[in-house]
Amino acid sequence: MTRGQFITFEGGEGAGKSTQLKLLAEALDHAGMEVVTTREPGGSKGAETIRALLVTGEVDRWDAQTEALLHTAARRDHLAKTVWPALERGTWVICDRFADSTLAYQGYGHGLAKDFITGLTRLAIGDFAPDLTLILDLPVEEGLKRAGGRGGAEDRYERMGMAFHERLRQGFLDIARQDPDRCAVIDATADVDAVHQAILKVVKGRLLGFCVP
Ligand code: TMP
């Protein structure tokens, strides 16, 4: 049995990840492929419990190290309970955020050292990594405007200020530059269908050899 492919979506607030993830999953499903969609923090019972601690409440609720540890603990549970079993069954897994978010938000955003975060990730999940990471990029102001329009209680990160969000946008672009074989930057300012077509093109091009529509 061939192991499934692991695709992650990354980007700042309001970049359209959830919409694009759904469209990609539908396209793959339409082509007869087994696909599961999931998210971080979350995606398993334990990780969803940790998520509630991270995305609600006061901005300064956690210090940066504790926050990175919580995200990493949630990631370990999510992989063990949801992602790894699916990949082993040959199912493709598409995940809304993954370890690049920890480097972008807790590293570039909160200022934790890159070595601290990469060390923590390695300790928790070894050298497991996505087969493809799609980084949806758009100006911070536009993203926060879109995200603010969604409302809801899960807005702890949205309240972290423009400078924080600028740093993590640059962080995602740095990550893409440093790992171009795994990452593709997608211009998320275009309309939903144009972004979807750009994503399909990358998936077909990068994961060649797999039956992609
Ligand atoms: P979401 O809004 O995309 O569902 O993600 C929840 C928030 O968690 C989002 O604002 C980014 C943040 N986050 C981190 O700060 N570090 C991480 O490792 C992950 C996965 C998410």
What are the beta bridge partners of residue 186? 136
Predicted TM-score (pTM) of this structure: 0.96
> What is the mean pLDDT, run by run of 10 residues, along the chain of 213 residues?
94 95 97 96 98 94 97 98 98 98 97 98 97 97 87 85 95 98 97 97 84 52
Closest Cα partner for 42 from 83, 14, 4?
83
* 3 state DSSP class of 184: strand
Q: Is the CB of residue 41 below 6 angstroms from any atom belonging to ligand 1?
A: yes
Q: What is the pLDDT at residue 55?
A: 94
* CATH ID of 6-207, from 3.30.70.100, 3.40.50.300, 3.30.470.10, 1.10.1740.10: 3.40.50.300
| Residue 148: predicted pLDDT | 82
Runs of H (alpha helix) within the chain: 17-30, 45-55, 64-78, 84-88, 99-101, 114-125, 140-150, 162-178, 192-206
* Cβ–ligand 1 contact at 92 (below 6 Å): no
Ligand 1 mutation target, pool 48, 55, 78, most atoms within 8 A of CB: 55
Q: Tell me, using a 6 A CB cutoff, whether residue 157 lines ligand 1.
A: yes
Pick from 60, 26, 54, 27: nearest CA to 40 = 54
Q: Which residue in this structure is represented by tokens 């603010």?
A: 148
Pocket test for ligand 1, best of 39, 97, 167 (most atoms within 8 A of CB): 97
